[in-house]
């Protein structure tokens, strides 16, 4: 049998696909837990809705913020910090003793997961050959789709067998593994925006909204 010739951009793809997989799996694993959480904390349906959606308040805000931080401090660094923080918060959610504590942890979980999107795209773009850019960018979302399905199914099974606390806590394991792979295998792509040169070269984000001529 022939040997598999893995190039560096293949490693980038695999690590990022696994990252998206674990991100969506841990996100969706919460959904099957909500009925048991409502029963334990005696929540109304309105409180349950706020708890489920708490993740998205911070996730949306962090998308733009994380890209800005990645430009300034390094994309790999933001992915590492966000990844290990993700795993820690997933672990802590299983030990929540009150509705408010779980709500706050969900908000911070959204912040950590929001750090992924704006920075993984840049890393994939830099290391992927131009002729393979389409597949390189698309593979990340394959991981997201698989994680979405796995999180719903696995979260339901774990919740049914062990309870919601174990189901959420166990999500910390793949998240920690993903962060470790990023730390070990991902190289920070060179960027004029990282480090001391950032202030000298930065432009206003208002430029994004100004009309401009585009060549077809």
Average pLDDT over residues 116-127: 88
For the stretch 60-78, pLDDT in tens is 889 888 988 998 899 999 9
Does residue 214 lie in a domain region?
no
The CATH number linked to 174 is 1.20.1250.20
Does residue 215 lie in a domain region?
no
Q: CA 181, CA 173: separation in Å to the nearest integer?
A: 13
Q: What pLDDT was estimated at residue 29? A: 94
Confidence of residue 4 (pLDDT cuts 50, 70, 90): low
Does residue 216 lie in a domain region?
no
16 touches 120 (CB < 8 A): yes
**Closest alpha carbon to 194 in 79, 78, 75, 81:** 75
Instruction: State the total domains in the chain.
Output: 1
Maximal CA-CA distance, the chain: 60
At residue 165's C-alpha, the angle toward residues 160 and 166, to 5°, is 70
Share of the chain above pLDDT 70, in %: 86
The number of helix segments (H) and strand segments (E) in the chain equals 9, 0
By residue range, what is the domain housing residue 96? 8-209
Does residue 22 lie in a domain region?
yes
Contacts of 198 (CB under 8 A, 6+ apart): 71, 72
pTM of the model: 0.84
For all residues of the chain together, what is the average pLDDT?
Answer: 87
Does residue 1 lie in a domain region?
no
For the stretch 129-161, pLDDT in tens is 989 988 888 887 899 999 999 999 999 999 999
């Amino acid at each position: 049998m022939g040997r598999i010739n893995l190039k560096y951009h293949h490693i980038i793809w695999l690590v990022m696909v696994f990252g998206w997989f674990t991100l969506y799996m841990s996100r969706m694993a919460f959904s099957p837990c909500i009925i048991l959480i409502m029963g334990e904390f005696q929540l109304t349906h309105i409180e349950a809705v706020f708890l489920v959606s708490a993740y998205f308040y911070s996730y949306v805000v962090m998308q733009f913020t994380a890209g800005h931080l990645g430009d300034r401090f390094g994309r790999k660094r933001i992915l590492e910090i966000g990844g290990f923080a993700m795993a820690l918060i997933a672990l802590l959610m299983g030990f929540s003793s009150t509705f408010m504590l779980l709500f706050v942890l969900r908000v911070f979980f959204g912040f950590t997961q929001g750090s992924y999107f704006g920075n993984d795209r840049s890393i994939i773009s830099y290391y992927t050959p131009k002729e393979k850019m389409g597949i390189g960018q698309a593979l990340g979302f394959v991981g997201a789709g698989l994680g979405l399905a796995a999180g719903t199914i696995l979260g339901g099974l774990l919740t049914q067998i062990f309870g919601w606390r174990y189901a959420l806590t166990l999500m910390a394991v793949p998240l920690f593994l993903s962060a470790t792979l990023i730390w070990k295998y991902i190289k920070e792509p060179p960027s004029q925006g990282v480090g001391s040169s950032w202030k000298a070269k930065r432009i206003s984000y208002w430029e994004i909204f100004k009309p401009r001529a585009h060549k077809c």
